[in-house]
C-alpha cells in the first residue's frame, strides 16, 4: 500500500498538468477562431509574421 | 415606452442597477426592458456608428488604438488575406486579425483616433460590409461561457481523479485495505473535492442566492443545497473516520450540470448573436437639405418641417409630402402590395417605403418617431409584452420539483429521527435523498436537445433566434401566412407570351437599367447579351431610349401607344414594348408561388395544423393564391392593425398560432403570435421580431422546423419522464437508507447518459416532405 503514497500524487500531478494546459490554451485564445486556422494554412504570405504580432 | 426619451448613453452605462438602456425603466437581467427599446437604442447607436467607427475604439496601454468591427461577407481564405493585407498596408497599423468564426476584424493603429475610420473605409472599398459592434452584452455572454468552460475543466479534472479514488474505495472493504488507507483516500478526496466545489459551484450558488433574495426558487436551489450538504457532511465523515463520503457524487453532479449549463449558454449566445447582427443593420442616415446644402442626419433626429432628399433606390426615412420630383414608390413593406405606386408633387409618402425611379424631395410632416413605421414598431412592442409571459417547460418542471424534493428530504430526516436513529444518521439519509433526487437529468434534458435541434436546423438554413421558440412552435395548431414574399417569392416573374427573341433582348436591355420590380423581372428573364442603350426613366410611365435612330419605350400600356382599354382588365402585371410609339410586344408577369408551397400546405394539414391566409392585397389576388395552395380561410385587405387583431382573436379562441410573414405590416402580427417565422428576404425589423428566420426560396423549412420542434419537445418530455422514473426507483431506496456512495454515483451518471443518448435520437430522424 505504500506505493499509493507516490502513485496518488503522480496521478494528481498529471491531471493537474492537463488541466493547466487546457486553461492556458483557452486563455491564449486557441479556441477563439476555429474556422480561420483551416483556411489560413492555405495562405503563403511573407507578411504573415508581421500581422501575427501583438496578438 | 416613449421614443423621445433617448438618454445619452454615458449616463446609463455606469449605473449599478440594471435599467433599460433606452428608456430607463427598471429591467431584470437584460440591458433593455423590451425588444423595441433594444431596436431603438441600437438604431441610434448604429446611426452614430455610420459616421464614425473610431469613436468606439479603445486606447491600449501602449498608446495604440484598437477597434473591433463585425464584417459581413467573409467566406474563404482569400477574404482573410484581402482584408488583413489591405489593413496591414498602412504603416501605422500595428496589428490586424480577422476572426472567421465570429466574422470580426480587429486592428490597432498608432496616432490619431480618426485614422480608424480611414482604415475601415479601405475594408469597405474591398466590398465587405462593416458594422459597429453592439454594446458589451455579447461580450458579457461569451465571458460567461468562458467562466463555465473553466468550471467544467476543473470539475472534469476533479471528477476523473475522484473516480480513481472512489473505485478503489468501492471495490474493497475497509477491513481488507485497512482503515489507514481508507482515511488516506478520504482525505485525498476531500482535498480534491472541496476546492472544486467552491470553484465550479459558483455559477449555481450565485444564481441560487440571487433568486432566494428575490423570494423565488429555481433549479439551482436544490442543486446548491445538495452539493453543499453533501460536501459538508462528507467532510464531517472524514474527520470522524466515517464510512461513507459523497465527494464523488457532489463533483460529478457539478460536472454534468455544468455541461448542461454551458450548452444552454451557448444556445442563448447563438440566438443573441444572430439577433444582434440583425439589429446592427437597422437604420442609418438620411440626406437633409438645409440652406441649400445637403447634410447627412441620423434618421432618429429628423423633425417635422425638414426637407429630405431621397435618391432613387433609397428608402424614405420619414412620413411626408413630396415637394419636388416624380417617382414610383414601392409600398410592399408597408402594405404587401406588389405594384409600386406612382407618386408626384403633393403625394403623401411613408417612412420605410422604397423610392424606385427618380430622386424626390420630401417635406417631412411627422418626425420619424411619429411615422407610420414607428407606429407599427410601437404596436409590435405592445404585442410582444403580451407574448413575453411564456414560462419554459424546464422552469415549470423545476417549480414543481423543488418543493417536492425538499419536503421528501425533510420527511426522511424526521422519519429516521422519530424511529430513534441518531441525528447524524438521519441527516445522512436526508442528504442522500437530496443528492439522488438532484435534477442532473433534468438539467441536461433541455439544453442537450436544444443544442442538437438548433444545430440540425442551422444546417438546413433555419436560424433560431430565441431559446424557447421550438417549445412554443411545437404547440401550435394554426398557422397564418402572409401572401407576398411568404407564400410567394415576392418578386414578379415573366410569364411566357407572344414575343420573339429580338423583342425581349431590346426590352431587357432597357429594363435592366431600372430597379422597378417589373423591369428587374424582365431583365432577369433574358440571359443573352444586352444592347448598349442609354435609357431614361420616366416616373410612372416607364423607360425610354434611342436605338438605331428610333425611340424605344418599355412601360405602361398607354404610354406605349396601345389603344383601347386604358387599364389592364386582369390582375396580371404587364409591360409593353414600343418602337416609335408602335406597340411591339406585351409582357405579362405574375408573382410566383414558392415552388413547394402546395406540398408544404398539404403536409401541414396532415400534421393537424390549419392554415390561414392574411394579406394586405386585394381579395381577388389573395383568393387566387389561396386556392392554388389549398388554404380555405382567407382574409384580404387588412391593415397591420387588423392583422394583429386577427392574430389576437385566433389566440383568444384558444388556438396556438404560428405567424409566417415578411413585411413590415406583418411585424405586429409576428410579435402577437405564439411563435413566428420569417424568410431571410424579409426586412430587418421583421426578421428581428420573428423567433425563427429561414433561408432559401422554398417554404419547406416551415414544415421541417415544425417537425423538429415537435420531435425535440417530445424528446424533452421523454427525458423528463426518464428522470422522474429514475427518481421513483431511487428515492425510496435513499429514504430507506440503502443508497451507498457507489449507487448514488452510478445512478447519477447513468441517468445523465440515458438522457443524453435519448437526445441524440433527434439526429437520426429526418423530416420527410
Task: Report d(CA B426, CA A8) in Å as an integer.
Answer: 33
The per-residue pLDDT for B546 is: 83
List the beta bridge partners of residue B65: B59, B109
Mean pLDDT of B551-579: 72
Q: Within 13 Å of residue B76, how many CA atoms lie on the same side as its CB?
A: 3
Taking the C-alpha atoms of residue B688 and residue B678, their distance in angstroms, rounded to an integer, is 9
Instruction: Answer yes or no: are the C-beta atoms of B342 and B606 closer than 8 Å.
Output: no
Is B500 buried (19+), middle (13-18) or exposed (0-12) by CB count in 10 A?
exposed
For residue B173, pLDDT over 60 is answered with yes
Per-residue confidence (pLDDT) for residue A19, from 0 to 100: 92
Integer distance in angstroms from the first to the last C-alpha of chain A?
A: 50
Which of the pair, B155 or B468, is modelled with greater confidence? B155
Residue B155 confidence (pLDDT) above 90: yes
pLDDT of residue B59: 77
The per-residue pLDDT for B7 is 40
Closest CA to B376 of B38, B7, B635, B671: B671
Instruction: State the Cα–Cα distance between residues B309 and B297, nearest whole angstrom.
Output: 11
**Residue B90 backbone dihedrals phi, psi, to 5 degrees:** -70, 130
> How far apart are alpha carbons B640 and B331 in whole angstroms?
13
d(CA B66, CA B60): 7
Determine the 3-state secondary structure of B527 from DSSP.
coil
Which residue numbers of B have CB closer than 8 Å to A's CBs? 76-77, 80-81, 84-85, 88, 94-102, 108, 146, 149-150, 153-154, 157, 160-161, 164-165, 177-178, 181, 184, 188, 192
Residue-level pLDDT at B452: 84
Of B119-133, B373-387, B660-674, B750-764, where does mean pLDDT reach its minimum?
B373-387
Q: Could you write out the DSSP letters of every residue in B545-573?
A: EEETTEEEEEE-TTTTT--S-SS-SSS-E
Question: What span, in angstroms and rounded, lies between the C-alpha atoms of B224 and A38?
Answer: 41
The β-bridge partners of B579 are B552, B582
A24: nearest CA partner in chain B? B150
pLDDT of B248-276, one tens digit each? 888 988 898 888 888 878 777 766 665 55
The residue among B72 and B278 whose pLDDT is bigger is: B72
> Nearest-CA distance from B96 to chain A in Å?
6
**CB under 8 Å, gap of 24 or more: what pairs does B187-190 form?**
B187/B238, B188/A8, B188/A12, B189/B162, B189/B165, B189/B234, B189/B238, B189/B245, B189/B247, B189/B248, B190/B234, B190/B235, B190/B238, B190/B245, B190/B247
pLDDT at A16: 92
B20 pLDDT above the threshold of 70: no
Q: At what angle do helices B202-213 and B220-239 cross, to 10 degrees?
A: 120
pLDDT of res. B480: 93
Judge contact between B295 and B287, C-beta under 8 A.
yes
pLDDT in tens, B424-444: 788 888 888 887 876 677 777
Nine-digit cell string for A28: 491564449
- Which residue of chain B comes nearest to A21, CA vs CA? B153
Residues of B in contact with A36 (CB under 8 A): 80, 98-101
Give the span between the Cα atoms of B240 and B759, in whole angstroms. 43
User: Which helix (H) or strand (E) is B230 found in, with range?
Assistant: helix B220-239
Handedness of CA B44, B47, B51, B54 (dihedral sign): positive
Percent of chain B with pLDDT over 90: 9
What is the 3 state secondary structure string of B141-162?
A: HHHHHHHHHHHHHHHHHHHHHH
Span B609-626, mean pLDDT? Answer: 85
Average pLDDT over residues B593-606: 89
Tell whether the model's pLDDT for residue B522 goes beyond 60.
yes
Cα B386 from chain centroid (whole Å): 19
Q: Which pTM value belongs to this model?
A: 0.68
Check A26 against B146: CB less than 8 A apart. Answer: yes
pLDDT of residue B611: 92
Q: How far apart are CA A44 and CA A25, in angstroms?
A: 25
In B34-121, beta strands by DSSP E: 58-59, 65-72, 93-99, 104-109
The gap from C-alpha B399 to its chain's centroid, in whole angstroms, comes to: 27
pLDDT (average), residues B633-658: 87
If you average pLDDT over residues B40-50, what whole number do you get?
42
User: Are B592 and B517 within 8 A, CB to CB?
Assistant: no
Of the segments B79-93, B155-169, B257-271, B668-682, which one has the largest average pLDDT value? B155-169
Assess whether B482 carries a catalytic annotation. yes
Per-residue pLDDT at B48:
38
Distance from C-alpha of B562 to C-alpha of A40, rounded to nearest angstrom: 61
Whether complex ipTM tops 0.90: no
What values do phi and psi take at B130, rounded to 5?
A: -115, 145
SS (H, E, C) B423-460: HHHHHHHHHHHHHHHCCHHHHHHHHHHHHHHHHHHHHC
Picking from B319-323, B507-511, B561-565, B746-750, which range would have the lowest pLDDT averaged per residue? Answer: B561-565
- The listed range with the strongest mean pLDDT (A46-55, B129-138, B263-272, B380-389) is B263-272
**A6 or B55, which is more confident:** A6
> In this predicted model, which residue has the larger pLDDT, B350 or B475?
B475
CA distance B220 to chain A (A): 26
pLDDT at B6 over 70: no
pLDDT of residue B760: 84
Helix boundaries (H) for B584-675: 597-606, 619-629, 640-652, 667-672
Q: Residue B448 pLDDT more than 80? A: yes
Q: Report residue B741's pLDDT band, with 50, 70 and 90 as the boundaries.
A: confident
Dist CA B264 CA B417 (whole Å): 40
**Distance from C-alpha of B262 to C-alpha of B270, rounded to nearest angstrom:** 12
Judged by CB atoms closer than 8 Å, whether chains meet at A19 and B157 is answered as yes
Per-residue confidence at B620, pLDDT binned at 50, 70, 90?
A: confident
The number of beta carbons lying within 10 Å of the beta carbon of residue B407 is 10
pLDDT in tens, B176-234: 778 888 888 899 999 999 999 999 999 889 988 988 888 777 778 878 888 898 899 88
* B657-660 β-sheet, strand order: B462-464, B692-694, B675-679, B657-660, B478-482, B610-614, B633-635
Distance from CA of B416 to the nearest CA of A (A): 38
| pLDDT (0 to 100) of residue B42 | 45
Q: Which of B135, B220, B264, B482 is catalytic?
A: B482
- In the β-sheet with B348-349, what is the strand arrangement from edge to edge? B293-298, B285-290, B307-310, B360-364, B320-324, B348-349
Q: What is the mean pLDDT of residues B584-591?
A: 82
Residues of chain B positioned with their CB less than 8 A from the CB of A51: 84, 88, 95-97
Among chain A, residues having any CB pair with chain B shorter than 8 Å are: 1, 4, 8, 11-12, 15-16, 18-19, 22-23, 26, 32-36, 39-40, 42-43, 45, 47, 50-55
Amino acid at each position: 500500500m505504500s506505493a499509493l503514497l507516490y502513485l496518488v500524487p503522480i496521478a494528481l500531478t498529471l491531471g493537474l498538468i492537463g488541466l493547466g494546459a487546457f486553461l492556458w490554451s483557452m486563455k491564449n485564445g486557441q479556441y477563439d477562431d476555429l474556422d480561420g486556422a483551416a483556411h489560413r494554412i492555405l495562405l503563403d504570405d511573407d507578411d504573415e509574421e508581421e500581422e501575427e504580432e501583438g496578438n | 415606452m416613449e421614443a423621445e426619451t433617448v438618454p445619452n448613453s454615458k449616463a446609463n452605462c455606469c449605473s449599478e442597477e440594471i435599467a433599460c438602456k433606452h428608456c430607463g425603466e427598471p429591467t431584470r437581467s437584460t440591458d433593455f426592458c423590451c425588444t423595441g427599446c433594444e431596436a431603438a437604442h441600437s438604431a441610434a447607436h448604429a446611426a452614430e456608428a455610420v459616421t464614425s467607427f473610431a469613436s468606439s475604439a479603445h486606447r491600449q496601454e501602449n498608446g495604440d488604438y484598437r477597434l473591433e468591427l463585425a464584417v459581413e461577407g467573409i467566406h474563404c481564405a482569400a477574404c482573410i488575406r484581402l482584408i488583413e493585407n489591405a489593413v496591414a498596408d498602412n504603416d501605422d497599423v500595428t496589428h490586424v486579425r480577422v476572426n472567421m468564426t465570429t466574422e470580426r476584424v480587429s486592428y490597432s493603429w498608432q496616432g490619431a483616433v480618426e485614422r480608424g475610420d480611414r482604415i475601415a473605409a479601405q475594408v469597405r472599398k474591398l466590398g465587405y460590409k462593416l458594422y459597429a459592434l453592439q454594446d458589451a452584452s455579447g461580450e458579457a455572454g461569451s465571458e460567461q461561457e468562458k467562466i463555465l468552460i473553466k468550471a467544467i475543466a476543473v470539475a472534469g479534472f476533479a471528477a476523473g481523479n475522484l473516480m480513481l479514488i472512489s473505485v478503489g474505495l468501492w471495490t474493497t472493504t475497509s477491513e481488507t485495505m485497512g482503515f489507514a488507507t481508507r482515511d488516506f483516500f478520504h482525505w485525498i478526496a476531500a482535498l480534491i473535492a472541496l476546492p472544486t466545489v467552491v470553484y465550479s459551484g459558483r455559477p449555481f450558488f450565485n444564481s441560487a442566492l440571487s433568486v432566494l433574495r428575490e423570494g423565488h426558487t429555481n433549479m439551482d436551489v436544490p442543486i446548491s443545497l445538495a452539493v453543499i450538504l453533501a460536501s459538508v457532511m462528507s467532510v464531517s465523515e472524514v474527520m470522524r473516520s466515517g464510512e461513507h463520503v459523497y465527494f464523488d457524487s457532489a463533483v460529478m453532479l457539478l460536472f454534468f450540470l455544468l455541461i448542461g449549463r454551458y450548452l444552454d449558454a451557448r444556445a442563448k449566445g447563438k440566438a443573441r448573436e444572430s439577433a444582434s447582427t440583425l439589429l446592427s443593420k437597422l437604420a442609418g442616415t438620411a440626406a437633409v437639405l438645409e440652406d441649400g446644402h445637403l447634410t447627412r442626419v441620423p434618421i432618429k433626429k429628423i423633425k417635422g418641417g425638414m426637407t429630405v432628399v431621397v435618391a432613387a433606390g433609397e428608402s424614405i426615412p420619414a412620413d411626408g409630402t413630396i415637394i419636388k420630383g416624380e417617382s414610383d414608390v414601392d409600398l410592399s413593406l408597408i402594405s404587401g402590395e406588389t405594384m409600386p405606386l406612382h407618386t408626384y408633387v403633393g403625394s403623401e409618402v411613408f417612412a420605410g417605403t422604397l423610392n424606385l425611379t427618380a430622386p424626390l424631395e420630401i417635406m417631412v410632416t411627422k418626425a420619424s418617431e411619429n411615422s407610420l413605421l414607428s407606429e407599427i414598431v410601437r404596436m409590435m412592442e405592445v404585442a410582444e409584452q403580451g407574448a413575453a409571459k411564456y414560462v419554459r417547460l424546464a422552469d415549470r418542471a423545476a417549480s414543481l420539483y423543488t418543493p417536492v424534493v425538499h419536503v421528501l428530504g425533510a420527511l426522511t430526516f424526521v422519519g429516521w429521527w422519530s424511529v430513534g436513529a441518531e441525528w447524524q444518521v438521519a441527516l445522512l439519509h436526508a442528504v442522500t435523498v437530496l443528492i439522488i433526487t438532484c435534477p442532473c437529468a433534468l438539467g441536461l434534458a433541455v439544453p442537450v436537445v436544444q443544442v442538437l435541434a438548433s444545430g440540425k436546423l442551422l444546417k438546413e438554413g433555419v436560424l433560431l433566434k430565441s431559446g424557447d421558440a421550438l417549445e412554443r412552435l411545437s404547440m401550435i395548431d394554426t398557422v397564418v401566412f402572409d401572401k407576398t414574399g411568404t407564400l410567394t417569392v415576392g418578386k414578379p416573374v415573366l410569364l411566357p407570351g407572344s414575343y420573339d427573341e429580338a423583342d425581349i433582348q431590346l426590352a431587357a436591355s432597357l429594363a435592366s437599367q431600372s430597379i422597378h420590380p417589373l423591369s428587374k423581372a424582365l431583365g432577369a428573364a433574358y440571359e443573352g447579351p444586352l444592347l448598349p442603350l442609354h435609357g431614361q426613366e420616366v416616373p410612372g410611365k416607364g423607360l425610354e431610349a434611342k436605338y438605331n435612330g428610333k425611340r424605344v419605350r418599355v412601360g405602361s400600356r398607354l404610354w406605349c401607344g396601345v389603344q383601347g382599354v386604358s387599364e389592364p382588365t386582369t390582375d396580371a402585371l404587364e409591360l409593353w414594348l414600343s418602337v416609335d410609339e408602335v406597340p411591339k410586344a406585351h409582357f405579362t408577369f405574375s408573382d410566383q408561388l414558392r415552388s413547394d408551397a402546395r406540398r408544404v400546405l398539404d403536409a401541414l394539414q396532415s400534421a393537424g395544423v390549419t392554415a390561414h391566409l392574411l394579406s394586405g392585397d386585394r381579395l381577388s389576388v389573395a383568393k387566387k393564391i389561396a386556392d392554388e395552395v389549398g388554404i380555405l380561410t382567407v382574409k384580404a385587405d387588412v391593415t397591420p392593425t387588423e392583422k394583429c387583431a386577427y392574430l389576437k382573436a385566433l389566440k383568444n379562441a384558444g388556438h396556438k398560432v404560428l405567424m409566417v410573414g415578411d413585411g413590415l405590416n406583418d411585424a405586429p402580427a409576428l410579435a402577437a403570435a405564439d411563435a413566428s417565422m420569417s424568410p431571410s428576404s424579409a426586412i430587418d425589423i421583421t426578421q428581428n421580431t420573428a423567433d425563427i428566420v429561414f433561408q432559401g426560396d422554398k417554404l419547406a423549412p416551415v414544415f421541417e422546423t415544425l417537425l423538429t420542434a415537435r420531435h425535440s419537445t417530445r424528446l424533452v418530455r421523454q427525458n423528463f419522464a426518464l428522470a422522474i422514473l429514475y427518481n421513483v426507483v431511487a428515492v425510496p431506496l435513499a429514504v430507506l437508507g440503502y443508497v451507498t456512495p457507489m449507487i448514488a454515483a452510478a445512478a447519477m451518471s447513468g441517468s445523465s447518459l440515458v438522457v443524453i443518448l435519448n437526445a441524440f435520437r433527434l439526429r437520426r430522424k429526418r423530416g420527410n416532405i
